[in-house]
């Protein structure tokens, strides 16, 4: 564990030394210590909490909507031939598209509010969830389904007690792809639209040539991203405690 | 042919519904110009050269950034898998930076390289490198030790082993990593062009939107979306060909 930290400490020291050496101007690369002071100052005034909270609210609300709607849509497509016929081409064409290009259209429709940012997050995060749910459900072992049917499971019980748990590892993988995507999109939407939030604060700093603010933003957004990814991995570990994947570790 | 028609019929239905909703005035033509108007605006943009010029600028940025990310990212990943000290040094850094939302780098690349091509290429390179590195690392680490030993005992040098044994066995995971990077490249390209640029498809979208030419804006948005889709499909076909020898 300690040895894993060494390269990170080295990088931090290299940053500080490089910035102090004066090879580049403080505008191009402020000292790490100055950036840390800036983050501390933001935290003290409460700006950091407000901006982080707003960004997290937008990213996580969108992510949760995408998760619930994505899993539901995947289930519907698995069970209903019409739903599959209708949504399958939309998913396969929509998944590889850069949905962020639709941002100006969504702004035109929904205005410069939170609902626009959340809608953008949903639009981007839902695709990996749907495809992962479909792949997971398609991969459930036939023997499991036959045994459950044989023992008299109703279609409802089959879905909740056999299909969904068996597909859960794949669904979790889809959610683990969708969560960082949600944060990326929330930050871009904030940058484009300005205002509060970590992305908006970074853009304001950039406009005023406040390079400490810009670098503080990178560190803050990076920390939030790291925390979300770690939290998701922990959730996977908890939810799949019964699964052989976890027990092998 | 008929199969494809049935398969893609829902898209056609949506297109017709779009046209009908806009024509019947159910929504304002400002919010949703009819599809036929959007097609007309696309043709106008194509004719006056705005579409091609900006598309070429975007394509140049994306391909330059992606090419750098693939070459450097793959080299780093394979080096990490084959040489312990490099893994000990770079592994924790890759793990730290991998989950970082890449869009946070947009203002910094602008700070460093300004509003032009350089900042977009750097952004796409930085954002796309780690998925490639991770794919190459996982693939090369999975290279069969017996194959490596056999090649060594038959007198292959270290570089020879890398090129002829490790790289081919890392290929499937590496190609998957590049596919992720390709999608990211489009996202980063469009985001950065929407936010700060004077050229490119993302810039054109913002420009048309700001001047109220919504039909044109829809046309360029759809063009970008279709380009992303086509790039992914073409890459998928290429990937299947490259991996044919594994069957």
With contacts defined as CB-CB under 8 Å, which chain B residues touch A217? 104, 107
In this complex, is the C-beta atom of B105 within 8 Å of any C-beta atom belonging to chain A?
Answer: yes
The position carrying tokens 């994306």 is B62
Domain that holds residue A181: 47-238
Within a domain: A111 = yes
Largest interatomic CA distance in chain B: 76
Q: What is the pLDDT of residues B132-187, one digit of tens each?
A: 999 999 888 877 778 888 888 888 887 788 878 888 888 888 998 999 899 999 99
Q: B53 Cβ partners below 8 Å, 6+ apart?
A: B199
Give the total number of structural domains in chain A: 1
Structure tokens at B188: 């980063």
Please indicate whether, in this complex, the C-beta atoms of A108 and B209 are within 8 angstroms of each other: yes
Within a domain: A19 = no
Would the pLDDT of B1 be above 70?
no
Question: Within 13 A of A4's CA, how many CA atoms are on the CB side?
Answer: 6
Q: What is the pLDDT of residues B178-212, one digit of tens each?
A: 998 999 999 999 999 988 888 899 999 989 988 88
Per-residue confidence (pLDDT) for residue A24, from 0 to 100: 83
Domain B57-246 matching CATH 1.10.10.60: the answer reads: no
Please indicate whether, in this complex, the C-beta atoms of A221 and B101 are within 8 angstroms of each other: yes
Which B residues, 199 through 228, put their C-beta within 8 Å of a C-beta on chain A?
Answer: 201-202, 205-206, 209, 214, 217-218, 221, 224-226, 228
With contacts defined as CB-CB under 8 Å, which chain B residues touch A27? 111
The closest CB to that of B100, out of A93, A107, A225, belongs to: A225
ipTM for the complex shown? 0.85
Smallest Cα distance from B47 to chain A, Å: 22
The position carrying tokens 């705005």 is B50
Within a domain: A75 = yes
pLDDT in tens, chain A (249 residues): 677 888 889 999 999 998 888 878 888 889 999 999 999 999 999 999 999 999 999 999 999 999 999 999 999 998 889 999 999 889 988 888 889 989 989 998 898 889 999 999 999 999 999 999 999 998 888 888 888 888 888 888 888 888 888 999 999 999 999 999 999 999 999 998 888 899 999 989 988 888 899 999 999 999 999 999 999 999 998 888 887 776 665
Per-residue confidence (pLDDT) for residue A248, from 0 to 100: 61
Q: What is the CATH number of the domain that holds A100?
A: 1.10.3720.10
Q: What is the pLDDT of residues B13-55, one digit of tens each?
A: 999 999 888 888 777 777 889 999 999 999 999 999 889 999 9
Would the pLDDT of B220 be above 90?
yes
Q: Could you tell me if B193 and B47 are in contact, meaning their C-beta atoms sit under 8 angstroms apart?
A: no
Q: What's the residue count for chain A?
A: 249
The closest CB to that of B93, out of A8, A88, A228, belongs to: A8
């Amino acid at each position: 564990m300690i040895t894993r930290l060494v390269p990170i400490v080295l990088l931090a020291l290299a940053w500080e030394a490089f910035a102090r050496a004066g090879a580049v101007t403080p505008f191009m690369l402020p000292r790490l210590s100055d950036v840390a002071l800036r983050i501390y100052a933001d935290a003290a005034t409460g700006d950091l909490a407000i901006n982080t909270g707003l960004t997290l609210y937008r990213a996580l609300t969108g992510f949760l909507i995408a998760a619930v709607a994505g899993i539901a849509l995947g289930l519907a497509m698995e069970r209903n031939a019409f739903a599959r016929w209708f949504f399958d081409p939309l998913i396969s064409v929509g998944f590889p598209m850069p949905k962020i290009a639709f941002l100006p259209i969504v702004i035109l429709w929904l205005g410069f509010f939170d609902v626009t940012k959340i809608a953008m997050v949903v639009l981007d995060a839902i695709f990996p969830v749907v495809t992962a749910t479909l792949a997971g459900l398609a991969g459930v072992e036939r023997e499991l389904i036959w045994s459950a049917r044989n023992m008299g499971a109703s279609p409802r019980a089959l879905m909740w007690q056999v299909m969904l748990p068996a597909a859960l590892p794949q669904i979790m993988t889809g959610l683990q792809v969708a969560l960082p995507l949600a944060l990326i999109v929330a930050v871009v939407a904030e940058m484009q639209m300005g205002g509060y939030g970590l992305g908006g604060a970074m853009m304001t700093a950039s406009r005023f040539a406040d390079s400490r603010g810009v670098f503080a933003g990178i560190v803050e957004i990076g920390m939030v991203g790291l925390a979300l990814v770690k939290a998701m991995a922990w959730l996977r570990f908890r939810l799949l405690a019964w699964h052989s994947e976890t027990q092998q570790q | 042919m008929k199969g494809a028609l049935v398969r893609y019929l829902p898209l056609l239905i949506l297109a017709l519904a779009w046209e009908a909703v806009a024509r019947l005035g159910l929504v304002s033509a400002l919010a949703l110009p009819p599809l036929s108007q959007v097609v007309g605006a696309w043709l106008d943009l194509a004719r006056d050269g705005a579409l091609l010029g900006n598309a070429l600028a975007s394509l140049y940025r994306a391909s330059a950034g992606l090419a750098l990310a693939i070459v450097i990212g793959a080299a780093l990943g394979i080096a990490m898998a084959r040489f312990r000290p490099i893994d000990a040094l770079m592994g924790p850094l890759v793990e730290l930076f991998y989950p970082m939302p890449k869009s946070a780098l947009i203002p910094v690349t602008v700070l460093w390289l300004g509003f032009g091509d350089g900042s977009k290429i750097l952004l796409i390179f930085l954002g796309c490198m780690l998925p490639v590195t991770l794919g190459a690392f996982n693939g090369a680490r999975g290279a069969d030790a017996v194959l490596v030993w056999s090649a060594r005992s038959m007198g292959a040098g270290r570089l020879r082993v890398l090129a002829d044994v490790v790289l081919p066995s890392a290929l499937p995971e590496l190609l998957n990593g590049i596919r992720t990077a390709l999608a990211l490249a489009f996202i980063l390209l469009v985001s950065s062009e929407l936010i700060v640029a004077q050229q490119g498809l993302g810039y054109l979208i913002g420009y048309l939107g700001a001047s109220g030419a919504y039909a044109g804006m829809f046309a360029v948005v759809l063009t970008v979306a279709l380009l992303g889709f086509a790039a992914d499909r073409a890459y998928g076909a290429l990937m299947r060909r490259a991996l044919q020898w594994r069957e």
